[in-house]
């Protein structure tokens, strides 16, 4: 039976929690669509009319009033919204065909820990033992990098007496001061640009600076300078793996400045952590991260400084540095521990032959499931 569209956006947002949906999409010509476990699911509601304004009717009451003119001028706007139960939502509204569309990402009220996110121990080690330098979390849209970053920041918040300043667009997870003190600044509400926030942050006696995204050369340069001057800087990049992150940072600058930027990266970098989400065998988990971690040990810094990035994948695979690993090594671990099927890992593997060589025999989906049951996992 078809259900009517609600008069308010609130019921649609609350249903995201009931469904464990990560995203809600609203577009003209189709009903509201949720993303659950990485898959899109249409609701049993009527489609938004092509000649109507239902989406605008739903979204305008929760859009910050003083930012509405920005949407009207630019045709797009990012902002956040919080329900009374603490669940937060990262919202993008956009104009398409002279109609409003919306993409809404749910951010859980409680920041999950490393075990809940199924992250390897190196993430805890980095957050616990690193006090200065640059840590980059990268991945494509929807890979969970914001949640991973939040887990690391909140670990520092809970274990270290320090001053944390975040610069986000928009603010996603809300950090409540624990041992640390925290200031969260939002682009469009508190300041105009990431680079502005970074330049002012270094004058605010920070110990830890969290940059939502490095998206221009001014922000990259300011982040590198903050890392070189004794601050611990966390940031995200929209790149698929660790190698692309280094390339992306250089692409912001003209070629004649690349030697200088390489030197700054080599001096300030502590780690690049990439991730992508895979469907899990256990339906209670839904998705687990495959990760790739590049640690800035001496040989890595030397290769970056000398422009010999092509040697880094081999260094990752052969390194004795605890915690450094490639995507294929992570995928092999997920299969061996019964979190994902072999065929799923193969689908996501950067190098299938290399992954096959990392596994102790090829397991079919059924064999992996039996392995998990024997270990006491969920069938």
Q: Within this chain, do residues 118 and 266 fall inside the same structural domain, yes or no?
A: yes
pLDDT at position 321: 67
Q: Within this chain, do residues 100 and 118 fall inside the same structural domain, yes or no?
A: no
Query: Does any domain span residue 176?
Result: yes
Q: Within this chain, do residues 93 and 16 fall inside the same structural domain, yes or no?
A: yes
Q: Within this chain, do residues 249 and 319 fall inside the same structural domain, yes or no?
A: yes
For residue 14, what is the domain's CATH number? 3.30.450.90
For residue 183, what is the domain's CATH number? 3.40.50.300
Q: Within this chain, do residues 124 and 267 fall inside the same structural domain, yes or no?
A: yes
Q: Which band of pLDDT confidence, cut at 50, 70 and 90, is reported for residue 141?
A: confident
Q: Are strands 33-36 and 21-26 parallel, antiparallel or unpaired?
A: antiparallel
> Average model confidence (pLDDT) for the chain?
91
* Domain stops at, among 107, 134, 152: 107
Q: Bridge partners of 277? A: 289
Cβ–Cβ under 8 Å, residues 105 and 93: no
Q: Within this chain, do residues 34 and 177 fall inside the same structural domain, yes or no?
A: no
Query: Does any domain span residue 354?
Result: no
Please state, in angstroms and as integers, the Cα–Cα distance from residue 235 to each residue in 8, 198, 283, following that order.
35, 11, 31
What does DSSP assign to residue 325?
B
Q: Per-residue pLDDT tens for 336-351?
A: 999 999 999 999 999 9
* Domain stops at, among 74, 107, 140: 107
Please say if the pLDDT value at position 8 is more than 70. Answer: yes
pLDDT at position 52: 84
Please say if the pLDDT value at position 295 is more than 70. Answer: yes
Residues 26 and 30: their CA atoms lie apart, in Å, by 8
Please say if the pLDDT value at position 377 is more than 60. Answer: no
Query: Does any domain span residue 228?
Result: yes
Q: Within this chain, do residues 277 and 313 fall inside the same structural domain, yes or no?
A: yes
Task: Give me the domain span that covers residue 44.
Answer: 10-107
Q: Within this chain, do residues 263 and 162 fall inside the same structural domain, yes or no?
A: yes
Query: Does any domain span residue 292?
Result: yes
Query: Does any domain span residue 320?
Result: yes
Q: Per-residue pLDDT tens for 158-213?
A: 999 999 999 998 888 999 999 999 999 998 889 888 888 998 999 999 999 999 99
Query: Does any domain span residue 378?
Result: no
Please state, in angstroms and as integers, the Cα–Cα distance from residue 214 to each residue in 107, 132, 169, 223, 251, following that order.
21, 18, 11, 8, 12
SS3 content of the chain, % helix, strand, coil (to 5): 40, 25, 35
Residue count of the chain, please give it.
379
Q: Per-residue pLDDT tens for 241-286?
A: 999 999 999 999 999 999 999 999 999 999 999 999 999 999 888 8
Please say if the pLDDT value at position 66 is more than 60. Answer: yes
How many domains does one find in the chain? Answer: 2
């Amino acid at each position: 039976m078809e259900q009517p569209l609600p008069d308010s956006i609130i019921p649609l947002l609350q249903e995201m929690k009931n469904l464990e949906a990560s995203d809600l999409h609203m577009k003209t010509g189709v009903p509201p669509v949720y993303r659950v476990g990485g898959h899109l699911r249409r609701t049993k509601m009527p489609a938004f009319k092509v000649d109507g304004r239902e989406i605008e009717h739903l979204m305008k009451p929760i859009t910050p009033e003083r930012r509405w003119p920005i949407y009207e001028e630019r045709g797009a706007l990012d902002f956040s919204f919080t329900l009374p139960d603490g669940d937060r939502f990262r919202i993008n509204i956009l104009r398409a065909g002279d109609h409003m569309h919306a993409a809404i990402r749910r951010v859980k009220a409680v920041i999950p820990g490393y075990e809940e996110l199924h992250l390897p121990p190196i993430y805890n080690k980095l957050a616990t033992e690193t006090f200065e330098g640059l840590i980059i979390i990268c991945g494509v849209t929807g890979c969970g990098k914001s949640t991973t970053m939040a887990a690391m920041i909140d670990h520092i918040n809970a274990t270290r007496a320090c001053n944390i300043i975040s610069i986000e667009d928009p603010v996603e997870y809300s950090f409540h001061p624990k041992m640390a003190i925290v200031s969260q600044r939002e682009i469009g509400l508190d300041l105009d640009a990431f680079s502005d926030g970074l330049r002012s942050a270094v004058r605010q006696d920070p110990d830890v600076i969290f940059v939502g995204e490095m998206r221009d050369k001014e922000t990259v340069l300011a982040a590198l300078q903050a890392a070189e001057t004794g601050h611990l800087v966390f940031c995200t990049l929209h790149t698929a793996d660790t190698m692309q992150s280094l390339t992306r940072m250089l692409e912001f600058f003209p070629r004649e400045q690349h030697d200088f930027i390489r030197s700054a990266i080599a001096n300030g970098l502590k780690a690049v952590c990439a991730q992508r989400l895979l469907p899990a065998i256990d339906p209670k988990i839904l998705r687990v991260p495959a990760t790739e971690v590049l640690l800035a040990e001496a040989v890595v810094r030397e290769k970056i400084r000398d422009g010999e990035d092509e040697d880094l994948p081999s260094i990752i695979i052969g390194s004795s540095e605890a915690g450094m690993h490639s995507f294929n090594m992570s995928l092999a671990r997920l299969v061996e521990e019964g979190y994902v099927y072999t065929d799923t890992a193969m689908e996501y593997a950067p190098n299938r032959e290399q992954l096959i060589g990392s596994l102790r025999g090829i397991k079919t989906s059924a064999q992996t499931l039996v392995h998990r049951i024997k270990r006491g996992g969920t069938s």
